[in-house]
Amino acid sequence: MNDETIRVGLIGSGYMGKSFSLAVGAAETLFGLPVALVKEMVATSNETSASNAAAELGFVRWTADWRELVADPNVDVIINCTPNHLHRDIALAALAAPKPILSEKPLGRTKAEALDMVQAADKAGVANMAGYTYMKNPATRLAKEILDSGEIGRVFHFRGLHIEDYLSDPSLPITWRLQKAQAGSGAVGDLCHIINMAHYLCGEITDVVADSSIVIPERPDGTPTGTSTVDTDDQTHILCRFESGALGYLELSRVASGRKMGLGYEINGSDGTIVFDQARMSELKLFTTKDSPDRQGFRTILLGPEHSDYGYFNSGPGHGLGYNDMVAIEVRDFILSVLDGRPVWPNFADAYHTEEVLDAAIQSTETGKWARVGS
């Protein structure tokens, strides 16, 4: 890394790997970064996929061994888009180098793995970030501004959900997401964006009580008649209490038929309410009691250049943004933190709270009782 160039190493070239590759290519132009971002090396699990990924995504070099990428002196920063069971080891190796790292959520399979990552990041003293993409949406940034300004008064309730249907078909084969040894948890960890979102908007969660279920307990295992047992949750519901005194409800499911992007939230305050639906990602609904009684009602705010980051992509109000635009904002924030050490949210320490909530929720599903977060 020098004053003119940052060379990026990408580990994993699947869904998120492709999105981050696009974002690395776009961020410099979109945001006028003071350095060039070079796609230096990509790593996947075998030589064929690595070679193909380099050609398709525009990386200079490739490797079938992520350790080789981490150790390479010509790789300055690392973006980790691998399955959950690799997050900790890759992060520890990168931070020992020490090299800045952006690692996909969740931090690790367990709270203990996540704590290892936080402690290594503290010791390394380099930029680190967890990949919670959805909170980079300018609409959620606007919601945060409204909350911080006190526009809807004292917040007393957060209602959030992240429900999708990508595993609702029982004929879909077993994958790492359905096995605790590799994933750590199921829907509650897979869709923990809403837990992180609740933290970002309303502060830390102190107590939870949760219930979960495995809706499809057996999946085809790739043999003509064989199946494998699913041991991670398909859906989890969480009641929670925030440090502020607010109450909350979180719903997570990956078997909600018909729901393709079911992330959303409603925040009730003493002077109003905010409603957001990620499927309509460039809109925010706002109700305020400060309007006269004969004019009260939810207004729909269409995002435009006046709102955080929107203007980098589009000069037309209401034209909307897309998923990869949020990833580009994520990469921008990470690179600026690498350059000058500015705070970035969520770093590993911020994301560790999500891991604590996950851990407490899993404890509660096992005991049937309230669990203290962080205990």
How many H-runs (helices) and E-runs (strands) does the chain carry?
Answer: 11, 17
Confidence tier at 189 by pLDDT (50, 70, 90): very high
Give 56-97 pLDDT, tens digit per residue. 999 999 999 999 999 999 999 999 999 999 999 999 999 999
Give pLDDT, residue 355: 98
pLDDT band at 32 (very low <50, low <70, confident <90, very high): very high
Mean pLDDT of 173-200: 96
pLDDT value at 295 more than 90: yes
Closest Cα to residue 348, out of 131, 110, 165? 131
Q: Token digits for 366?
A: 């096992």
CB atoms within 10 A of CB 245: 11
Q: pLDDT (tens digit, 9 = 90+) per residue, 321-339?
A: 999 999 999 999 999 999 9
pLDDT attached to residue 196: 98
Are the C-beta atoms of 70 and 10 separated by less than 8 Å?
no
What is the DSSP secondary-structure string of 103-164?
A: EESSS-SSHHHHHHHHHHHHHH-S-EEEE-GGGGSHHHHHHHHHHHHTTT-SEEEEEEEEE-
Cα separation of 275 and 144, whole Å? 12
State the maximum Cα–Cα separation within the chain, in Å, rounded to a whole number: 67
More confident position, 2 or 373: 373
Average pLDDT over every residue of 141-150: 98
What is the predicted pLDDT for the residue at 225? 79
Q: What single-letter amino acid sits at 185?
A: S
The rounded radius of gyration (Å) of the Cα atoms in the chain is: 21
| Rounded mean pLDDT, 86-114 | 98
CATH architecture assigned to 5-134: 3-Layer(aba) Sandwich (3.40)
Digit-coded pLDDT (tens) for 232-285: 999 999 999 999 999 999 999 999 999 999 999 999 999 999 999 999 999 999
pLDDT for res 4:
92
Q: Give the pLDDT mean for 115-136.
A: 98
What is the average per-residue pLDDT within 95-124? 98
Does the structure show a pLDDT above 80 at 1? Answer: no
Residue 84 has a pLDDT of 97
Query: DSSP labels for 259-281?
Result: -SSEEEEEEEETTEEEEEEGGGT
Q: What is the mean pLDDT of residues 124-148?
A: 98
Domain map (residue ranges) of the chain? 5-134, 136-371
Q: How far is CA 260 from the centre of its chain?
A: 16
| pLDDT of 2 over the 90 cut | no
Mean pLDDT for the chain?
A: 97
CATH code assigned to 136-371:
3.30.360.10
- pTM higher than 0.85, yes or no? yes
Sign of the dihedral through C-alpha 306, 309, 315, 321: negative
Sorting pLDDT into bands at 50, 70 and 90, what band is 222? confident
Q: What percent of the chain has pLDDT over 70?
A: 100
Q: Are 342 and 129 in contact (CB under 8 A)?
A: no
pLDDT at 123: 98
pLDDT for the residue numbered 362:
97
Instruction: Determine the pLDDT at residue 174.
Output: 96
Predicted local confidence at residue 223, as pLDDT = 84
Q: Other C-beta atoms within 10 Å of 142: how many? A: 20
Q: Is the pLDDT of residue 315 over 80?
A: yes
pLDDT band at residue 224, thresholds of 50, 70 and 90?
Answer: confident
Query: Looking at the predicted structure, is the pLDDT value of residue 47 above 90?
Result: yes
